Amino acid sequence: MEDEAQGCTGLFGGSFSPPHMGHVLACHYALLRWNLKKVLIVPSFAHPFGKPLPPFDHRLAMCRLAFAHLGDAVELTDVERQIGGVSYTIDTVQELTRLRPDENFRLLVGGDILPDTQKWRAFKELTIIAPLLVIPRISEGVIHGGTAFEAALPDVSSTRIRQTLAAGETPTGAVPAIVLDYIAKHALYQ
């Protein structure tokens, strides 16, 4: 499946609360590793597991800032806002397939979330519509979704970033500086 990804559009979804260096590096990794046509950033509108999120418009704006340096190689979409309600990946992928019938999609996921996919709605159907491309990630010193011979994303945690911000500290190096400026300007995560 990975060999057939060249020229496809990678779908990279998440709450992006906030978008951090791991997200940015994941896009770089996917574009270079699989020679994708582009990566489509898909912020969640409402998290399926009830995770509280800042307003969608803030998360969309932060994504725009975090990925701007990648130019046309990255595109943002508010498709989950258009769908409305709780964001299930299968619904999003089906809607994107309807809206963009000429594009071939691949779903980008971090290797660390593979054990959680049994919780996803219609996961098997999802992988038929948009086969997975797994990005290796280091967590607690272990590489998930890859081997020691592959580059792996660092262990950057949105939860830890939010906790750091809530404590009035700055997660320097974990979040793009332009996103940190936006967070401070809009008093997010306090």
Q: What is the pLDDT of residues 173-184, one digit of tens each?
A: 999 999 999 999
Whole-model pTM: value is 0.91
Q: What percent of the chain lies above the pLDDT cut of 70?
A: 98
Question: What does each C-alpha distance from 135 to 14, 55, 78, 190 come to in angstroms?
Answer: 14, 28, 23, 31
d(CA 52, CA 34): 33
The answer to whether the beta carbons of residues 175 and 21 sit under 8 Å apart is yes
Give the chain's mean pLDDT. Answer: 91
In this prediction, residues 7-19 reach a mean pLDDT of 95
In this prediction, residues 142-151 reach a mean pLDDT of 79
Model confidence at 148: pLDDT above 80: no
- Backbone CA torsion sign across 140, 144, 150, 153: negative
Q: Does residue 2 sit in helix, strand or coil?
A: helix
In this prediction, residues 24-36 reach a mean pLDDT of 95
The answer to whether the beta carbons of residues 126 and 76 sit under 8 Å apart is no
Q: Say which residue, 190 or 147, is predicted with more confidence.
A: 190
d(CA 130, CA 100): 13
What does the angle CA 59 – CA 60 – CA 61 come to, to the nearest 5 degrees? 90
